[in-house]
Structure 1
Amino acid sequence: ISAIMLSFLGWMIWRPNQSCPSDPELAKYCETSKKWNKRIFWLSVIIWSTGFFFSTLLLPLRNLLGV
């Protein structure tokens, strides 16, 4: 479920036809929030991938390598 939620969030961040307001001050806030949304998204993907690796892939990999 969490992978689906991250995929949906990625779509929301990079969906086409997004625009910021024409007011310069609001546009500045909009661009700042877009930048932070992308940073938080990639941090979430890294955390999710690390958790997925350790909870799902590490044991079969250890068994395969005989460690």
Structure 2
Amino acid sequence: MQKLIKLKDDFISIASLFTSISTLLCCALPSLLVAIGMGAVVAGIVSEFPALIALSKYKEWTFLGAGLLIGFNFWVFYGRKKNQVCEIDEYGNETACDTAARWSKIILWISFGLYTLGLFSAYLLLPLQEFLGI
């Protein structure tokens, strides 16, 4: 049962990273490139990867899904983790549980950083530029 829970937690970590990367690619990166005058690059990316159009069309849902997954992953890692302690091996070495927990934490924070960058670029960058007159 413990192995099934660990597998589910690892899946959620990877899914949150994937969704945060998809929000960055669909919504944040094109907005940022257009804002700095690289619209032709965006046109080339969209012509190579037409699925980005669908993600951009539903960017509110994409951001909502990514945010929910990342939030749930924070709850899994920090909220429930108090009850789950990795076993210490007899030699004091890092166990597989410790390694998985360390990588889950790294993936979680990378996901959060990418999501924050995407949120800023997709929803706040243009109003900020208009406010500053840039």
TM-score, normalization: structure 1?
A: 0.85
Could you list the runs of 5+ residues in structure 1 that have no partner in the other structure?
none
Runs of 4+ in 1 over 6 A off after TM superposition: none
Determine whether 1:3 maps to 2:70.
no
Deviation at 1:20, TM superposition (A): 2.3
Q: State the superposition RMSD in angstroms.
A: 1.7
What pairs with 1:19-34 in structure 2 (closer than 5 Å)? 19-21=85-87, 24=89, 28-34=95-101
Greater relative contact order (Cα < 8 A, sep 6+)? 2
SS of residue matched to 1:19: coil
Could you list the runs of 5+ residues in structure 2 that have no partner in the other structure?
1-64
User: % of aligned pairs identical?
Assistant: 35
- Output the CA distance in 2 between the equivalents of 1:31 and 1:19: 9
> When the two structures are aligned, how many residues end up with a matched partner?
65
TM-score, normalization: structure 2?
A: 0.45
